[in-house]
Amino acid sequence: MIRANRRILLALAALALALLAAWGYRMLPGFSGGDKSGTEETERRRDDKVTVTTAPARVADVPVTIDAVGTVQALNTVTIRTQVDGRLLRLAFTEGQDVKKGDVLAEIDPALYKAQYDQAVAKKAQDEANLANARVDAARYEKLVAGKFLSTQQYATQKALVSQLEAQVRADQAAIDNARTTLEYATIRSPIDGRVGIRLVDVGNILHPSDQTGIVVVSQLKPIYVVFTLPQQALAAVQKALTSGGAPKVRALAPDNSTALENGELAVVDNQIDQLTGTVKLKAVFANADLALWPGQFVNVRLMLDTIRNAVVTPSPAVQRGPKGAFVYVLGDDGQAHMRPVTTGRQDENIVVVASGLEPGATVITSGFSRLSDGGKVRVVNPEEPAAAGAAAPEPERDRGQGRRARGVRSEETPKR
């Protein structure tokens, strides 16, 4: 009897739980027979307008470019060294100074080389005096031989002595030139136009031609080179640009990849491909009038290869990706967003070339995709409106809930087909 009563109680409890679950299910907003307020809330949210920004699709000429990372190199770099031994008397430059070709940079003690030069000059004067005397004797011997008062052999010997002294004078002149050159080496001049760096030696040191450090380094900064590499697959396009339109234009960009530092042109394509990396080395030359480029600096390089004429372009954020490929939302005359599949071409951080699927002048949506769907109503906010919108009346409870969802981690971005 007791066991039968337990069974009855258990059956009644199970029935009560089933009835409670059925009542809860009917109260769900999506149940047609439940509370009408849930359905009305859903419909009201479905009719809400999504705030978006828009931009027109336009026709423009789009450059075909290749981006790379390059290193700035001076056009010429010279390490100034002494060509003679001696004590460094003076440095005639200020560190970081611009110098011209021929400007004095340093002076070596010239006393020893000045003495050698004076000695060579004196030796030539001595030999020239001997030569003059020998020529007078030769002229006198010529007359004596004509009168048969002197043997021909003595006259020939005198002529040979004159030739010997003439050769000696020429040797003396060469010694003078050598001594003058050595003396000039004591004054060290800049071989190029450029800018000197930090000095590598101090005044008073004994310098030798075998010294490895040198005195200072002079770098030519105007113009200047940028060396960069491209994958070998891009070599054909580069060669085509070289043969069709002259030297392709090259732009040096700042680390943000948008600020232009300097404009130049491609100067050299290396004659071989690096087999280890599969890249080819290129060199571009820049005027560098404002010294925006500095040797050793890393810069972003944009090589202009071609231009796509009259292309339909849109802002890059307007193009979305879905399971079936790229698409955009186009704002219709009815104030609704209409999804339109497109075929895209070249793309960068700013614009996308639309090859098909979009007409020039169409208004595309560029933001607000998290709550946007095909056929959804939208409210366009111009860039200058957000400040005014923020000062408007407080949003209703419905909008605050949507704001909380927008700030959450979940975002519905899949378009409704």
pLDDT tens column, 200-247 = 999 999 999 999 899 999 999 999 999 999 999 999 999 988 888 778
CATH match of 65-75+216-308 with 2.40.30.170: yes
Q: Where does 50-62+310-406 sit in CATH, by number?
A: 2.40.420.20
At residue 265, the pLDDT reads 94
Residue with the bigger pLDDT between 113 and 151: it is: 113
Q: Could you tell me which of 10, 196, 166, 198 has the C-alpha nearest to residue 100?
A: 196
User: CATH says 86-109+186-213 is which class?
Assistant: mainly beta
CATH of the domain spanning 110-185, picked from 2.60.120.340, 1.10.287.470, 1.10.3720.10, 3.40.50.2000:
1.10.287.470
Residue 217 CB partners (closer than 8 Å, separation 6+): 77, 78, 79, 80, 196, 197, 200
Has residue 73 got a pLDDT over 50? Answer: yes
Task: Say what the pLDDT of residue 383 is.
Answer: 61
pLDDT at 352 over 50: yes
Rg of the chain taking only CA atoms, in angstroms:
45
* Residue range(s) of every CATH 2.40.30.170 domain in the chain: 65-75+216-308
Write out the residue limits of the CATH 1.10.287.470 domain(s) in the chain: 110-185
pLDDT at 388 over 70: no
Residue ranges, CATH 2.40.420.20, the chain:
50-62+310-406
Looking at residue 150, what is its pLDDT?
82
Instruction: Examine the pLDDT at 399 and tell me if it is beyond 60.
Output: no
pLDDT at position 406: 36
Is residue 223 reached through a cis peptide bond, with omega within 30 degrees of 0 on the bond before it? yes
Supply the pLDDT for residue 403.
39
| Residue for token pair 């075909």 | 64
Alpha carbon distance 108, 245 (integer Å): 53
% of the chain surpassing 70 pLDDT: 84
Give the residue range(s) of CATH 2.40.50.100 domains in the chain: 86-109+186-213
Looking at every residue in the chain, the average pLDDT score rounds to: 84
Provide φ and ψ at 186, rounded to 5°.
Answer: -70, -20
pLDDT at position 154 is 87
The CA distance from 70 to 228, in Å, is: 4
d(Cα 350, Cα 316) in Å, to the nearest integer?
5
Measuring CA to CA, which residue among 410, 397, 391 is closest to residue 45? 397
